[in-house]
Chains A and B, each alone.
Chain A
Amino acid sequence: EQILEAARSIAAATAALVKAAGTAQKELV
């Protein structure tokens, strides 16, 4: 269960990071 929670946190943090980076790119597209 702890593994799943830790993986969930990483996935959420990575999605937020990538979204932030993607938003900057999208403005140009």
Chain B
Amino acid sequence: QEPLTASMVAAALPHEQKQMIGERLYPLVYEIHSQLANKITGMLLEIDSSELLLMLESPESLHAKVEEALAVLQAHQAME
């Protein structure tokens, strides 16, 4: 699978852009946390596309964001 580039994303329709990025992001998130991969990917997709593209290229920053999303989710669940 060829890497997703900013120009590929820019060429897509606005509602397709996040889906395109999500398709790449989901398997990576799934490797880190399979049970919450759908939820965590959905949370990460609210981040700017340009930042998401950088995260796809950087396992360290992706990992940090997944951990951050998990912490936010756990804090949210604890409040309910």
A binds B: no
